[in-house]
Each structure stands twice: as structure tokens, then as C-alpha cells.
């Protein structure tokens, strides 16, 4: 009787257990959609493996895919036409870009044919473009992958960002020393021939925004201003009204942003004042005049991860009592749909709704 009881208990435990799946190469990843969401935890620099969790709406783990492939490394994410692209800089020790196709739940690799690591990736309907990691002399390049051609900025400037406006390539260049408040916006044709440039006495944050119609490039400055640039290098400097947040602002850090629609973005902002640091989510709307700021309430210390346009959800990460909290909002009103608290403080970098 006791033996039968033990066997029954063991069977229940075994049935309830979800064995981890180990993956040596990220292209081997596949899922049967056992949960509602995929959570990407990239391999941190001092770790040997990362993972993709399949969880349900309550946070219960349905399956864990352990990944040892170094290409699964901390990355900035770029979205283009339903797919996501990850450039991991030097973290992966590789020059490939990772592509994730949410419709197929597949990871694939883009061979850049470069010897230098990739800092940023950008894509439009003509080509793929990259910005390389700086070398020992603080020099780097931007490249057109279809042309297999790169341009290095010699002298006092390095490449910050590459984008395209209409039929031109726009390159944002900043002072290599970081000591001067100066930025250049350089214009090239599609054959990477230099055409013209403008210079501004400002310093841009890491993240930029290119309008969906590819007619405007927006730079977010540390002084709080937003600079709007068109393909002719005409520019407008918008002084964003931040008085609702503080009247003693020293520095504004515009972190990651995601595009909500053709006229607005959601941006994670850190505002340094004389006495404090304020970390908020803000919606910025771009009309015909000055960009308008709308503070999203109850969003202290949330980091933007990504947006899922099929599910109409945007995801953020925060930490409460040494545990990771994932907040899910709808993209239209930015109201909270769900909050999921994990049982650890692991960094989640990317979320995909696999039940949409």
C-alpha cells in the first residue's frame, strides 16, 4: 500500500515537472506554444548560458529553453516589418546579427561579412545598415551590407547612428572625446557618397527615432531638447516643456523608445534634477508644431523592452523586492493589462506574445 502511494506521488511530481530544454545553437530554438509569452534572458557577460522562458499569464513557467550559444547576448532590438533584429556589440564575440521572426517563432542569423563587431543595426526597403563597435582609437564605421561597403569617419568624430530619410542615408556623428557638446548630421547618397552636413552644439542620447514615413529623424538631447531633421538637412530644435516634472532639471536621459503609431512614441526618460533622479514613462506626440509630452502615471523605474504589434501590447521591466516585474500595457491607451512577477531578479530583455 505504501509502495503504491509512493509510486502515485512520484508520477504526479513527474507529470507536473517541465524538463529544461538545452540548446547549443540559437537556430535550433523551436516552441510548441506551451505558454502565453516567451521571455528572452540573454547571456550576461559573466554567465555561460541564457534562456527563453515560456510562461502563462500568471507567470507560471511552462518550459525553459537553456541557450549556450554566445550569439544569444545582450542586444539592442530593432523592429522592421514584423521581424526583430538584435545587434550585440562585442558581447557575443561574433559579427552576425540575430533575426527573430515572431510569426514562425524562429531565430536566424544574418552574416554581415564584417570583421568588426556590430553596435547598431538598421534596415529599410533598400538595404541593411550597421554601425560597428569602436576600435582602440575610438574609430568606427557605418556600412551598407548589400553594397558590402563601409565608411569610416576619421578625425574627431565617430559614428553614433545610421538611418535613412527618403532616398538618402543620414549619419549622426559625435565627438570621440565626449568633451565637446557638438554633433554632426551627415548626408550620403545610396552609393555612400558624401553630400553635405550640418553641425549642432548639442549632445544626443543613444536612442533616436525615425518617423514611419522616413521623412523625419529625431535626436533626443541631454539638455532636454528634441531636434527634428529632414532629408534636406533642414532642422528644428524643439524645447520640450518638462516643467510638469521639475523646474530644476540638470540633464535629461532619453532611454529606449518604441513606436506606438505614426504620430507618437513611448519613451523611458530619466530626469536628473538638483536633488533627485526621476524615472518615468512618457508618451511623445509629433504633430505639425512642437512635440507634446504626456506623462504615463504610475510608471516609476520601468524600463521599456519592446512592443508586440500583433498583440497590441508594450512591455516594460522593473524590480520590486529583488524580483523582476514585467508590466504589460495596451498600445492604444497604455493602460495596464497585466503584471507578472518572476521568482528571481533576472534581466528580461525581450517579450513575445505567442497566444495572440
Residue 331's SS3 state is coil
- Give CA–CA dist 260/216, Å, rounded: 16
Q: What is the model's pLDDT at position 18?
A: 57
Q: 34 in helix, strand or coil?
A: coil
Count of helix runs (H) and strand runs (E) in the chain: 1, 29
In terms of Cβ atoms closer than 10 Å to its own Cβ (0-12, 13-18, 19+), residue 21 is middle
User: How confident is the model at residue 15, as a pLDDT?
Assistant: 41
The answer to whether 132 and 123 have CB atoms below 8 angstroms apart is no
- Please give the grid coordinates belonging to residue 345: 531578479
10 Å CB burial of residue 7 (0-12, 13-18, 19+) is exposed
| Buried/exposed 271-293: b ≥16 CB within 10 Å, e otherwise | bbeeeeebbbbbebebeeeebeb
Q: Tell me: the pLDDT tens digits for 333-344?
A: 999 999 999 999
Q: Which has the closest alpha carbon to 214: 82, 126, 145, 85?
A: 126
User: What local confidence, expressed as pLDDT, does residue 10 receive?
Assistant: 43
Residue that is written with C-alpha cell 532611454 in the block: 255
Torsion of CA 279, 299, 334, 347, to 10 degrees: 80
pLDDT of the residue at 155: 87
**How high is the pLDDT of residue 266?**
98
Residue ranges in the chain modelled with pLDDT below 50:
3, 5-16
Reported pTM: 0.92
The pLDDT score that the predictor gives to residue 142 is 97
* CA–CA separation, 223 and 240 (whole Å): 10
Question: What radius of gyration, in Å, describes the C-alpha atoms of the chain?
Answer: 22
Q: Region of 95 please: left (phi>0), alpha (psi -120 to 50) or beta.
A: alpha
DSSP symbol at 16 = H
pLDDT for the residue 2: 54
What pLDDT score was predicted for residue 28? Answer: 95
- Chain center to CA of 306: 6
Q: Residue 213, Cα to own-chain centre: how many angstroms?
A: 20
Amino acid at each position: 500500500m505504501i509502495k503504491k502511494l509512493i509510486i502515485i506521488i512520484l508520477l504526479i511530481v513527474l507529470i507536473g515537472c517541465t524538463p529544461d530544454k538545452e540548446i547549443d545553437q540559437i537556430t535550433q530554438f523551436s516552441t510548441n506554444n506551451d505558454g502565453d509569452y516567451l521571455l528572452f534572458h540573454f547571456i550576461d557577460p559573466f554567465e555561460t548560458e541564457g534562456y527563453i522562458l515560456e510562461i502563462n499569464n500568471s507567470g507560471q513557467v511552462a518550459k525553459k529553453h537553456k541557450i549556450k550559444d554566445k550569439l544569444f547576448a545582450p542586444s539592442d532590438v530593432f523592429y522592421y516589418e514584423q521581424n526583430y533584429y538584435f545587434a550585440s556589440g562585442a558581447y557575443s564575440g561574433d559579427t552576425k546579427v540575430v533575426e527573430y521572426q515572431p510569426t514562425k517563432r524562429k531565430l536566424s542569423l544574418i552574416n554581415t561579412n564584417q570583421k568588426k563587431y556590430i553596435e547598431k543595426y538598421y534596415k529599410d526597403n533598400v538595404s541593411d545598415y550597421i554601425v560597428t563597435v569602436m576600435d582602440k582609437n575610438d574609430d568606427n564605421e557605418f556600412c551598407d551590407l548589400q553594397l558590402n561597403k563601409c565608411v569610416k569617419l576619421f578625425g574627431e568624430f565617430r559614428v553614433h547612428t545610421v538611418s535613412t530619410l527618403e532616398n538618402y542615408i543620414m549619419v549622426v556623428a559625435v565627438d570621440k572625446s565626449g568633451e565637446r557638446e557638438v554633433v554632426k548630421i551627415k548626408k550620403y547618397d545610396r552609393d555612400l557618397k558624401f553630400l553635405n552636413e550640418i553641425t549642432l552644439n548639442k549632445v544626443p542620447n543613444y536612442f533616436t527615432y525615425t518617423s514611419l514615413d522616413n521623412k523625419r529623424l529625431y535626436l533626443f538631447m541631454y539638455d532636454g531638447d528634441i531636434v527634428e531633421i529632414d532629408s534636406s538637412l533642414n532642422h528644428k530644435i524643439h524645447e520640450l516643456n518638462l516643467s510638469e516634472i521639475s523646474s530644476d532639471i540638470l540633464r535629461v536621459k532619453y532611454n529606449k523608445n518604441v513606436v506606438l503609431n505614426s504620430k507618437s512614441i513611448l519613451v523611458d526618460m530619466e530626469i536628473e534634477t538638483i536633488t533627485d533622479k526621476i524615472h518615468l514613462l512618457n508618451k511623445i506626440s509629433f504633430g505639425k508644431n512642437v512635440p507634446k509630452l504626456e506623462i504615463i502615471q504610475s510608471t516609476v523605474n520601468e524600463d521599456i523592452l519592446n512592443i508586440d504589434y500583433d498583440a497590441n501590447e508594450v512591455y516594460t521591466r522593473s524590480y520590486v523586492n529583488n524580483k523582476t516585474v514585467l508590466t504589460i500595457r495596451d498600445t492604444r491607451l497604455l493602460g495596464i493589462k497585466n503584471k507578472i512577477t518572476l521568482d528571481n531578479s533576472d534581466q528580461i530583455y525581450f517579450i513575445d506574445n505567442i497566444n495572440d
